[in-house]
């Protein structure tokens, strides 16, 4: 149990999660009879996966599309469709996040890309800056649910599940999450009398904006369609998406410049390195937990409380919502999947259903204090205080939890599409 106490202590004093995982594992191996050779061995094993190479490709695709003008065109297309409705800019924000989610698979990338465009525009149009930032942070959480999803790639590797089935399993929950947020935005828009475009958009302008954005809208179809049809793997899909985004941004829209590429590459390398460091130390920490039989002990503890599937799902949700408030998403997946997967198997819970539930729980944590990463990004863009933003985002968190309960207790929302693929 010393592993748990070291882990908790390092978290409390604010040590970054990658060092928490590494130092806890190193401390355990130093005082146990395990060989020190296990440290590099298990870290390497954690990274020895072809599917993990999809992560830098998806991150790079999002960066190229943002610099190449594809993000702006997605926003303009969304504005043509819903801009005339009361609070149209807020609806555009959510809708654009849903479409951008099919490209980057990252909530933080969505917050940065969409937020840098729409938060200033919403403030200029008369929206409260707290509300603008809250909409952006909350809607960006659709990113890791709607395929492709970096977090689901990690879960699929750890749990040994089909990446394609996980991607399809997240489709309906992602749409439900987006639509529920749009409904909340409309409620506040009417209540606070937020503006709308004066004139109804003509079909001519809608078609014009659609054809202007069609190259960007095709990207998710290429990524998901290629994976589900078996033409290429998730990693190959990411590589093809990078090439496609470069061609569209550089040759078609002509907004991507060669001088932008070094900056995009550096940002991609930084993001990828951080993620893979967590994966490697998480694999080492997972081995320590397994060596100490922590997953079995947790399984026995939860199953001793109740063997009812619905009660177990409720307990898993409570634990994950709490963990998501304090821990990074990828690290949480790496640590908790080996613990919850045996419990799910014993209770008859489908591993794909469990994966979507875990991802949905943990991305809600991206908008909850004290470690809501998306909140800090949106807070900086909107130039507002963290406390005010937390207050503004709470209704969106409540709506997300309602969607979580629907997804949890109606497994068909996940398994209907996943079973078609399987």
pLDDT tens, per residue, the chain with 422 residues: 677 788 888 878 878 888 888 899 888 888 887 778 888 888 888 888 777 888 888 888 878 887 888 878 888 888 888 878 888 888 988 988 888 776 655 677 777 777 877 888 888 888 899 999 999 999 988 878 888 788 898 999 999 998 889 989 999 999 999 999 999 999 999 999 888 766 566 777 778 888 888 887 887 787 778 877 778 888 888 888 889 889 988 998 889 999 999 999 998 898 888 888 888 888 888 888 888 887 788 888 888 888 899 999 999 999 999 888 878 788 889 889 988 999 999 899 999 999 999 999 999 988 888 767 788 888 888 888 888 999 999 999 999 999 999 999 999 999 998 887 76
Query: What pLDDT shows up at residue 104?
Result: 59
- Please write down the HEC assignment for all residues of the chain: CHHHHHHHHHHHCCCCHHHHHHHHHHHHHHHCCCCCCHHHHHHHHHHCCHHHHHHHHHHHHHHHHHHCCHHHHHHHHHHHHHCCCCCHHHHHHHHHHHHHHHHHCCHHHHHHHHHHHHHHHHHHCCCCHHHHHHHHHHHHHHCCCCCCCHHHHHHHHHHCCCHHHHHHHCHHHHHHHHHHHHHHHHHHHHHHCCCCCCCCCCHHHHHHHHHHHHHHHHHHHHHHHHHHCCCCCHHHHHHHHHHHHHHHHHHHCCCCCCCHHHHHHHHHHHHHHHHHHHHHHHHHHHHHHHHCCHHHHHHHHHHHHCCCHHHHHHHHHHHHHHHHCCCCHHHHHHHHHHHHHHHHHHHCCCHHHHHHHHHHHHHHHHHCCCCCHHHHHHHHHHCCCHHHHHHHHHHHHHHHHHHHHHHHHCCHHHHHHHHHHC
Q: Please list, in sequence order, all residues whose beta carbon lies within 8 angstroms of the beta carbon of residue 119, skipping any fewer than 6 positions away.
A: 129, 132, 133, 136, 378, 381, 382
Query: What pLDDT shows up at residue 395?
Result: 96
Query: What pLDDT shows up at residue 102?
Result: 61
pTM: predicted TM-score of the whole model, two decimal places: 0.85
Q: Please list, in sequence order, all residues whose beta carbon lies within 8 angstroms of the beta carbon of residue 59, skipping any fewer than 6 positions away.
A: 104, 106, 109, 150, 267, 268, 271, 272
Long-range contacts of 317-324 (CB under 8 A, 24+ apart): 317/357, 317/361, 317/404, 317/405, 317/408, 320/357, 320/358, 320/361, 320/362, 321/361, 321/364, 321/365, 321/368, 321/401, 323/362, 323/365, 324/361, 324/362, 324/363, 324/364, 324/365, 324/366, 324/368
């Amino acid at each position: 149990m010393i592993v748990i106490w070291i882990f908790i202590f390092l978290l409390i004093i604010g040590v970054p999660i990658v060092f928490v995982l590494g130092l806890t594992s190193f401390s355990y191996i130093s005082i146990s009879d395990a060989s020190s050779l296990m440290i590099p061995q298990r870290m390497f094993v954690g990274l020895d996966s072809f599917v993990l190479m999809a992560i830098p490709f998806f991150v790079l695709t999002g960066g190229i599309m943002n610099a190449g003008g594809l993000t702006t065109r997605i926003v303009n297309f969304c504005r043509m469709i819903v801009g005339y409705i009361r609070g149209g800019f807020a609806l555009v924000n959510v809708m654009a996040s849903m479409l951008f989610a099919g490209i980057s698979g990252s909530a933080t990338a969505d917050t940065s890309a969409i937020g840098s465009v729409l938060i200033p525009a919403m403030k200029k149009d008369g929206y409260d800056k707290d509300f603008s930032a809250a909409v952006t942070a909350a809607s960006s959480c659709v990113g890791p649910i709607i395929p492709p999803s970096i977090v689901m790639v990690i879960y699929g590797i750890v749990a040994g599940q089909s990446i394609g089935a996980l991607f399809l399993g997240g489709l309906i929950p992602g749409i439900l999450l987006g639509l529920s947020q749009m409904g909340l935005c409309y409620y506040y828009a009417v209540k606070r009398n937020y503006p709308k475009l004066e004139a109804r958009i003509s079909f001519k302008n809608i078609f014009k904006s659609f054809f202007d954005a069609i190259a960007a809208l095709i990207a998710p179809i290429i990524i998901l369609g290629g994976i589900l049809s078996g033409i290429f793997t998730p990693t190959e899909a990411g590589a093809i998406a990078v090439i496609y985004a470069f061609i569209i941004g550089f040759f078609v829209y002509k907004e991507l410049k060669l001088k932008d590429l070094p900056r995009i590459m550096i940002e991609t390398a930084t993001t990828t390195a951080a993620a893979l460091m967590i994966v490697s130390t998480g694999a080492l920490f997972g081995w320590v937990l397994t060596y100490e039989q922590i997953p079995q002990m947790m399984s026995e503890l939860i199953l001793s409380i109740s063997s009812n599937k619905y009660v177990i799902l409720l307990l898993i949700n409570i634990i994950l919502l709490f963990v998501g408030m304090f821990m990074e998403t990828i690290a949480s997946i790496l640590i908790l999947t080996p613990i919850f997967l045996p419990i799910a198997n014993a209770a008859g819970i489908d591993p794909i259903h469990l994966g979507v539930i875990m991802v949905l729980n943990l991305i809600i944590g991206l908008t909850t204090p004290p470690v809501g990463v998306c909140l800090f990004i949106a807070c900086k863009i909107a130039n507002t205080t963290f406390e005010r933003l937390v207050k503004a985002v709470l209704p969106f968190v409540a709506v997300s939890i309602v969607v979580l309960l629907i997804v949890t207790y109606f497994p068909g929302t996940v398994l209907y599409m996943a079973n078609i693929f399987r």
